[in-house]
């Protein structure tokens, strides 16, 4: 048989919470394949692969690698068998060089000395073989996310790994970097490596994988799916357990007058022009999407439009009236905003759901009186939100850090949407969120739009912007370079604007 | 002219001799911090080293045995610090400050028990070897001739520390552990063992620094002998960017402020005022000097954190 890994009847129970993360799961890997392990967040994908990588002992069941039964209790056991894992959160040391990061634990030596030259030479050879654009002497902190991921892949292969597990590798990448990664994966496959890609993105599975397995709530729903014989719809049904509407477009029925207008927005910091001459209008009943590769000024734009950062110049009007002040004033004026990073800006992770649900709105008479919080009322409100927004949680007093990414995002969204703002500025609403929650968040946004709210959407997910937006702008290096109505531009056209290869301003 | 020259020589001699214990302690601190454990217990390691060095010399009659006893005492209490921080994952600030308080009261109590006097021990044998053979060296000969042999040992240790940290496989591993214990552990490094080693090397060097204060300087142990030098060594370590060579420079700045203080005390200026100089310097360094210095990223983290 060419099954190089066979995992049989694997179960894993976390003793602290008594949660059964994996329930009698079987899984096999064939030599030289790209295998997509699909599932929603919390379905047990990473748990299963961490068992294979020796990071998740103890477990019950049997792991057979290259025909021999093995007990995986430490990553080093797996590494010695040629199994490596590239984690979602990179295991790199930013202040050290590419070479140092890659060779750690198996350094070439001269006596007791670290043989830096031969390490760098070997790694340069690998870099040349795979056509990575990297220097072994570069410090990891100076590299982009995509480059850091390549360092992780080199680290996995150094020492000759035959099996590489990639945990959600595309979550942190731009569309261009995803293409590069897929090219690398194909080259590794041609080289005879076996690759597991852990993901919840169906399109990626269809694009890159040979076979797929689907986990749901710790159970293996289907394994040995031949990707060429399946469809996105079929895979999503296995994954969620019901039919999901994905990528359905729901154009606006009625676009009203201008609700929110930005004129002449410039931001210069340290003699560096970050936002250049931005003008935009959002109408009632409209979603205006801003597409762009991350780092082109979206974060700054979001902060300026929510009053967190002071622009160099800007004229901001809400329903025709000039708007001024700080973040507090913006909230009070009915501009709700969902920040791009829920963990650092949207939530206080160690605080409970009910506390997070009233953050920023805690002074409302509904929630507090003379500086004292009304605990009972807040909890009632919170219970109601948990039900309404289908937040999966043990209760209102659960700390937000205990929730999955999708449910954390629902808490942020519930907080903003329940305040009934006229204008909603929403950034990366579904980053790191599973399909079920994504579908729900999108439909809530569309509902609010149909109620006549004006929504400004910033997202790095091109599919998301294209499907939701009634009108779309493309931002590149702090400048709006293109504008289009729904479905006026296709994906590759938008891509050209996003990378600066084209601009409507300079007349194409 | 000659008056000024004599005073300058006096101050420089004092600068060097005041710097030695600080260099040794902060050098030790580097090994601890680079392995991921902030060396806040340095004061306790110096104090214990100063005490055990006197005990060792007192009972053996040999100051070199005392030096080894000083290193041993420092190592012992640093092992305790390691158990707290590594095994029981106690907050490093709390563990460090706690041990510092413990060392102060324990050495005071033991001084009372052994010698029947809680203020100080009797005078013990001292290290006789000095660098007088260097007195013929032009210019710096005058400054070096009175210095203890420990100056030479300290210099050797500084170079060895640099070599070990930045040239050997062991040093690379120690630094990776201090930056990212989780990454180190997945690559099969024995993270806990390396941290214990870092902490114990720290204790030995700080203990030696303490021993210098007691048996090489005034040949007895006094209550609260280190008087906050362990804390100053922490500042020196940070100001020296956790690098053996820069730490020497930083220690000399503090040694100089100490020397000036001693010198000015002899000039009729109120001593209480002058004694504050090193601490005022520390305050300024903390306020203005260390802002942009990045500590090892893994300080306070464990390989099995989630």
pLDDT in tens, B63-77: 999 999 999 999 999
d(CA A375, CA B185): 44
**Is any Cβ of chain A less than 8 angstroms from the Cβ of B184?**
yes
* The CATH fold of domain B2-289: ABC transporter involved in vitamin B12 uptake, BtuC (1.10.3470)
Proportion of chain B above pLDDT 90, given as a percent: 66
pLDDT for residue A507 is more than 50: no
Predicted confidence at residue A114, as pLDDT, reads 95
Chain A residue whose CA is closest to B191 = A105
Predicted confidence at residue B205, as pLDDT, reads 98
**Chain A with chain B: Cβ pairs closer than 8 A:** 60
* Confidence bin at A17 (pLDDT 50/70/90): low
Question: How many other CB atoms are there within 10 angstroms of residue A32's CB atom?
Answer: 17
Cβ within 8 Å, pair B186-A104: no
Range ranked top by mean pLDDT from A116-130, A201-215, B192-206, B209-223: B192-206
Q: For residue B241, what are the CA distances in angstroms to A94, A101, B41, B170, B234?
A: 17, 21, 18, 20, 11
Chain B residue whose CA is closest to A74 = B186
Work out the minimum CA distance from A437 to partner chain B, whole angstroms: 25
d(CA A110, CA A97): 19
Work out the minimum CA distance from A220 to partner chain B, whole angstroms: 26
pLDDT for residue A363 is more than 90: no
Work out the minimum CA distance from A287 to partner chain B, whole angstroms: 39
d(CA B305, CA B26): 28
pLDDT for residue B23 is more than 60: yes
Phi, psi of A27 (to 5 degrees): -155, 135
* Confidence bin at A508 (pLDDT 50/70/90): very low
Chain A residue whose CA is closest to B182 = A91
pLDDT for residue A406 is more than 90: no
**Is any Cβ of chain A less than 8 angstroms from the Cβ of B293?**
no
Predicted confidence at residue B306, as pLDDT, reads 59
- The chain-wide mean pLDDT, for chain A, equals 88
Proportion of chain B above pLDDT 70, given as a percent: 98
Range ranked top by mean pLDDT from A38-42, A251-255, B70-74, B252-256: B70-74
Question: How many other CB atoms are there within 10 angstroms of residue A160's CB atom?
Answer: 8
Question: How many other CB atoms are there within 10 angstroms of residue A81's CB atom?
Answer: 19
Proportion of chain A above pLDDT 70, given as a percent: 98
> Residue B54: enclosing H or E segment and its boundaries?
helix B42-60
Predicted confidence at residue A280, as pLDDT, reads 92
Using the 8-state DSSP alphabet, how is residue A401 labeled?
G
Mean pLDDT, to the nearest integer, of A409-433?
87
d(CA B254, CA B265): 17
Question: How many other CB atoms are there within 10 angstroms of residue A192's CB atom?
Answer: 9
* Residues of chain B found within 8 Å of residue A402, distances taken between Cβ atoms: none
What are B146's two structure tokens?
Answer: 């009175």
pLDDT for residue A41 is more than 90: no
Helices A491-498, A175-190: axis angle to 10 degrees equals 110
Q: DSSP for A76-138?
A: HHHHHTTEEEE-SS----TTSBHHHHHHTTS--EETTEE-HHHHHHHHHHHHHHHT----TTS
pLDDT for residue A479 is more than 50: yes
Work out the minimum CA distance from A16 to partner chain B, whole angstroms: 14
Work out the minimum CA distance from B202 to partner chain A, whole angstroms: 21
Predicted confidence at residue A246, as pLDDT, reads 65
Out of A183-197, B205-219, B237-251, B258-272, which region has the weakest mean confidence (pLDDT)? Answer: B258-272
Cβ within 8 Å, pair A100-B172: yes
* Sequence-distant (≥ 6) Cβ neighbours of residue A240 within 8 angstroms: A40, A216, A435, A436
Predicted confidence at residue B3, as pLDDT, reads 62
Q: Is the dihedral of CA B172, B174, B179, B181 positive or negative?
A: positive
pLDDT for residue A183 is more than 70: yes
Mean pLDDT, to the nearest integer, of B243-254?
95
Provide the β-strand partners of residue A65.
Answer: A5, A68
Delimit the domains of chain B by residue range: 2-289
* Residues of chain A found within 8 Å of residue B171, distances taken between Cβ atoms: 114
* Sequence-distant (≥ 6) Cβ neighbours of residue B27 within 8 angstroms: B154, B157, B158, B161, B205, B244, B247
Mean pLDDT, to the nearest integer, of B91-99?
95
pLDDT single digits (tens) B150-171: 999 999 999 999 999 999 999 9
Question: How many other CB atoms are there within 10 angstroms of residue A110's CB atom?
Answer: 11
**Is any Cβ of chain B less than 8 angstroms from the Cβ of A478?**
no
Predicted confidence at residue A364, as pLDDT, reads 83
* Confidence bin at B4 (pLDDT 50/70/90): low
**Is any Cβ of chain B less than 8 angstroms from the Cβ of A109?**
yes
Range ranked top by mean pLDDT from A495-499, B157-161, B298-302: B157-161
Predicted confidence at residue B152, as pLDDT, reads 92
Mean pLDDT, to the nearest integer, of B240-254?
95
pLDDT for residue A10 is more than 90: yes
Phi, psi of A290 (to 5 degrees): -120, 115
- Residue ranges of A 27-56 with Cβ closer than 8 A to chain B: 55
**Which comes out higher in pLDDT, residue A261 or B131?**
A261
The beta-carbon neighbor of B182 closest among A91, A105, A114 is A91
* Tokens 């201090």 -> residue: B178
Taking only Cα atoms into account, the Rg of chain B, rounded to an integer number of angstroms, comes to 19
- Check if the beta carbon of residue A378 is closer than 8 Å to that of residue A397: no
The beta-carbon neighbor of A112 closest among B168, B180, B297 is B168
Predicted confidence at residue A390, as pLDDT, reads 83
Predicted confidence at residue B183, as pLDDT, reads 92
pLDDT single digits (tens) A238-250: 988 877 766 677 8
Cβ within 8 Å, pair A75-B188: yes
* Residues of chain A found within 8 Å of residue B294, distances taken between Cβ atoms: 95
**Three-state secondary structure call for residue B57:** helix
* Confidence bin at A25 (pLDDT 50/70/90): very high
pLDDT for residue A506 is more than 70: no
> Most A CBs within 10 Å: which of B186, B191, B193, as the mutation test of the A interface?
B186
Mean pLDDT, to the nearest integer, of A20-46?
90
d(CA B18, CA B11): 10
Among left, alpha and beta (phi > 0; psi -120 to 50; other), residue A376 is: alpha
**Three-state secondary structure call for residue A283:** strand
**Is any Cβ of chain B less than 8 angstroms from the Cβ of A79?**
yes
The beta-carbon neighbor of A94 closest among B168, B187, B297 is B297
* Residues of chain B found within 8 Å of residue A76, distances taken between Cβ atoms: 186-188
Predicted confidence at residue A496, as pLDDT, reads 82
Out of A207-216, A290-299, B43-52, B203-212, which region has the weakest mean confidence (pLDDT)? Answer: A290-299
Proportion of chain A above pLDDT 90, given as a percent: 39
Q: Model's pTM, two decimal places?
A: 0.80
**Three-state secondary structure call for residue B215:** helix
What are B49's two structure tokens?
Answer: 């080293």
């Amino acid at each position: 048989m060419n099954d190089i890994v066979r995992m049989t009847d694997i179960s894993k129970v976390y003793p602290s919470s008594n949660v059964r993360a994996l329930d009698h799961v079987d899984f096999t890997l064939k030599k030289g394949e790209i295998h997509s392990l699909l599932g929603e967040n919390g379905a047990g994908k990473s748990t299963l692969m961490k068992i294979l990588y020796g990071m998740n002992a103890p477990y019950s069941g049997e792991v057979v690698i290259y025909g021999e039964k093995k007990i995986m209790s430490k990553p080093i056991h797996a590494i010695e068998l040629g199994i490596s894992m590239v984690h979602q959160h990179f295991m790199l040391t930013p202040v050290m060089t590419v070479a140092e990061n890659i060779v750690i634990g198996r350094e070439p030596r001269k006596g007791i000395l670290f043989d830096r030259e031969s390490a760098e030479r070997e790694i340069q050879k690998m870099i040349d073989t795979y056509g990575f654009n990297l220097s072994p002497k570069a410090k990891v902190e100076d590299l982009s996310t995509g480059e850091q991921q390549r360092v992780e892949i080199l680290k996995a292969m150094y020492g000759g790994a035959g099996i590489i597990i990639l945990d959600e590798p595309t979550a942190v990448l731009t569309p261009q970097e995803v293409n590069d990664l897929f090219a690398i994966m194909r080259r590794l496959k041609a080289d005879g490596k076996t690759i597991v890609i852990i993901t919840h993105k169906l399109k990626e599975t269809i694009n890159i994988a040979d076979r797929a397995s689907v986990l749901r709530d710790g159970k293996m729903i289907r394994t040995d799916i031949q990707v060429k014989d399946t469809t996105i719809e079929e895979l999503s049904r296995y994954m969620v357990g019901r039919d999901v509407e994905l990528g359905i477009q729901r154009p606006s029925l009625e676009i009203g007058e201008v609700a929110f207008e930005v004129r002449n927005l410039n931001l210069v910091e340290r003699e560096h022009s970050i936002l250049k001459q931005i003008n935009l209008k959002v109408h009632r009943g409209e979603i205006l999407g801003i597409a762009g590769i991350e780092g082109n000024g979206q974060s700054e734009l979001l902060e300026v439009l929510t009053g967190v950062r002071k622009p160099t110049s800007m004229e901001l009007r809400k329903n025709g009236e000039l708007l001024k002040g700080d973040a507090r004033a913006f909230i009070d004026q009915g501009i709700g905003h969902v920040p791009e990073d829920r963990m650092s800006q949207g939530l206080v992770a160690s605080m409970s759901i009910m506390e997070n649900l009233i953050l920023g709105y805690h002074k409302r008479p509904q929630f507090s009186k003379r500086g004292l919080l009304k605990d009972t009322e807040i909890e009632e409100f919170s219970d109601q939100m948990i039900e309404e927004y289908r937040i999966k949680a043990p209760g209102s007093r659960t700390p937000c850090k205990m929730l999955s990414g999708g449910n954390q995002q629902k808490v942020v969204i519930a907080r903003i949407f329940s305040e009934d703002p006229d204008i909603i500025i929403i950034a990366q609403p579904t980053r790191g969120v599973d399909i079920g929650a994504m579908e729900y968040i999108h439909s809530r946004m569309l509902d609010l739009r149909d109620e006549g709210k004006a929504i400004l959407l910033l997202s790095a997910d091109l599919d998301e912007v294209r499907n939701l937006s009634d009108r779309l702008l493309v931002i590149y290096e702090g400048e709006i370079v293109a504008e289009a109505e729904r479905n006026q531009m296709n994906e590759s056209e938008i891509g050209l604007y996003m990378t600066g290869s084209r601009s409507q301003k300079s007349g194409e | 002219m000659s008056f000024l020259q004599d005073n300058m020589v006096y101050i420089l001699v004092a600068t060097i001799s005041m710097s030695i214990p600080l260099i040794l302690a902060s050098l030790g601190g580097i090994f601890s911090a680079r392995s991921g454990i902030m060396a806040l217990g340095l004061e306790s390691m110096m104090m214990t080293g100063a005490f055990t060095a006197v005990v060792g010399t007192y009972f053996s009659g040999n100051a070199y045995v005392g030096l080894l006893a000083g290193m041993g005492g420092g190592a012992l209490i640093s092992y305790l610090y390691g158990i707290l921080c590594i095994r029981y994952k106690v907050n490093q600030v709390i563990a460090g400050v706690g041990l510092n308080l413990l060392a102060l009261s324990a050495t005071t109590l033991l001084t009372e028990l052994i010698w029947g006097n809680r203020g100080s021990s009797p005078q013990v044998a001292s290290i006789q070897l000095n660098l007088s053979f260097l007195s013929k060296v032009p210019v710096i000969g005058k400054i070096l001739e009175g210095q203890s042999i420990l100056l030479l040992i300290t210099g050797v240790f500084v170079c060895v520390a640099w070599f070990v940290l930045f040239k050997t496989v062991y040093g690379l591993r120690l630094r990776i552990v201090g930056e990212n214990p989780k990454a180190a552990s997945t690559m099969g490094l024995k993270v806990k063992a390396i941290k214990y080693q870092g902490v114990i090397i720290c204790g030995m060097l700080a203990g030696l620094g303490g021993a210098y204060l007691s048996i090489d300087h005034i040949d007895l142990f006094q209550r609260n002998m280190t008087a906050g030098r362990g804390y100053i060594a922490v500042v020196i370590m940070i100001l020296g960017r956790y690098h053996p060579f820069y730490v020497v420079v930083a220690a000399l700045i503090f040694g100089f402020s100490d020397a000036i203080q001693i010198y000015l005390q002899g000039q009729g200026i109120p001593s209480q005022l002058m004694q504050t100089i090193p601490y005022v310097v520390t305050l300024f360094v903390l306020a203005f000097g260390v802002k942009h210095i990045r500590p090892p990223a893994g300080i306070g983290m464990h390989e099995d954190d989630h």
